[in-house]
Each structure stands twice: as structure tokens, then as C-alpha cells.
């Protein structure tokens, strides 16, 4: 085996490398980036698909939603589980059909605490959760803030 010491690599260069190589290796030993994707659920109540450029409306009508659609997931066939905000959102947040969660049916207006909400599942999986609402029905008053670490929204009173 040929020695590199006699081939232009002085002993001093080897000593420097012996110091720097472990340092470079240690620099690469930081925490690995979180492999989980970021999740942003954007809900716009009563916005019809035919009013959004990504769904065929005149281009440029909704530039921010179009960018989200281009960078994220765009559903071509999405349907609401109910025609009423609180009932549809309870389904969205629980994954249950309206007859299973009962919110907005037979006078039930507040989501029971026994329902497991999407924010709770995400929080339990290690995500930081935050909810922001300008809809009167999507608030703490109606049980929709359950599971969010941070929630900001208008209240009924």
C-alpha cells in the first residue's frame, strides 16, 4: 500500500484533516428534519367551487387559493355532508356522518366532548394545532375548538 505522506501530503496536513473531519461529521449529526408534512386545512364557508379559478372560474379571481391548490391537494369531487355550517364542520372535524355525531340535528347545537376531533388526533400525533375562525358556529361556544392548542374566533355573546 502506498503512503500518502510522501506524495505531497505532509504530516501537518494529515493532522489538520484529523481535526477537521470529526468536526464536519459532528456538524452533520443534528436533529433530522421532521418527516411529517405540514397540514393547513382552509375552509371557506359557502364558497362555491365555480367561483374559484382553480376550478374553472376566470383566471386570477382567487390568486391565493389558486396558489394553495397548485402547491397542495385539490379535490375535484368534494361534497359537503350537510347543507348547514355547524353540521358539515362537525363531520369534517370528526370524520363522522351527521347522524353519527348528531350536531345540528334534533336541537343538538354543541359538539359533545365525547367526540374525538381532528385537532385532537393531530395534537396526539405531535403536531402543533391552531384554529382561526370568523364563523359564529365554528367557535368554542359550539365545541369546535376542542383539541386546538390555540383557537381564536368570534363568540356568540
| pLDDT tens digits for range 57-109 | 777 889 998 998 898 888 888 888 999 999 999 999 999 999 999 999 988 89
Cell for 28?
Answer: 452533520
What backbone torsions phi and psi does residue 150 show, to the nearest 5 degrees? -130, 135
Q: Which residue has the higher pLDDT, 152 or 3?
A: 152
> Residue 37: what pLDDT?
84
Name the helix (H) or strand (E) containing 152: strand 150-153
**At 35, is the pLDDT very low, low, confident or very high (cuts 50, 70, 90)?**
confident
Are the CB atoms for 82 and 88 separated by under 8 Å?
A: yes
* Percent residues over pLDDT 70 in the chain: 76
DSSP 33: P
Domain segments of the chain as ranges: 1-30, 49-153
Per DSSP, the three-state class of 133 is strand
According to DSSP, the residues that pair with 131 across neighbouring strands are: 151
Report, as an integer, the average pLDDT of 24-31.
62
> Residue 136: what pLDDT?
87
Amino acid at each position: 500500500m502506498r503512503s500518502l505522506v510522501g506524495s505531497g501530503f505532509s504530516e501537518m496536513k494529515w493532522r489538520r484533516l484529523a481535526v477537521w473531519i470529526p468536526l464536519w461529521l459532528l456538524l452533520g449529526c443534528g436533529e433530522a428534519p421532521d418527516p411529517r408534512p405540514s397540514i393547513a386545512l382552509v375552509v371557506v364557508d359557502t364558497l362555491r367551487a365555480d367561483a374559484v379559478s382553480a376550478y374553472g372560474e376566470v383566471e386570477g379571481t382567487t390568486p391565493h387559493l389558486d396558489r394553495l391548490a397548485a402547491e397542495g391537494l385539490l379535490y375535484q369531487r368534494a361534497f359537503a355532508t350537510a347543507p348547514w355550517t355547524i353540521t358539515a364542520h362537525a363531520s369534517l372535524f370528526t370524520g363522522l356522518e351527521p347522524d353519527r355525531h348528531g350536531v345540528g340535528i334534533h336541537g343538538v347545537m354543541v359538539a359533545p366532548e365525547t367526540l374525538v376531533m381532528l385537532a385532537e388526533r393531530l395534537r396526539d400525533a405531535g403536531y402543533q394545532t391552531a384554529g382561526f375562525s370568523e364563523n359564529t358556529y365554528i367557535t368554542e361556544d359550539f365545541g369546535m375548538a376542542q383539541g386546538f392548542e390555540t383557537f381564536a374566533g368570534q363568540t356568540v355573546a
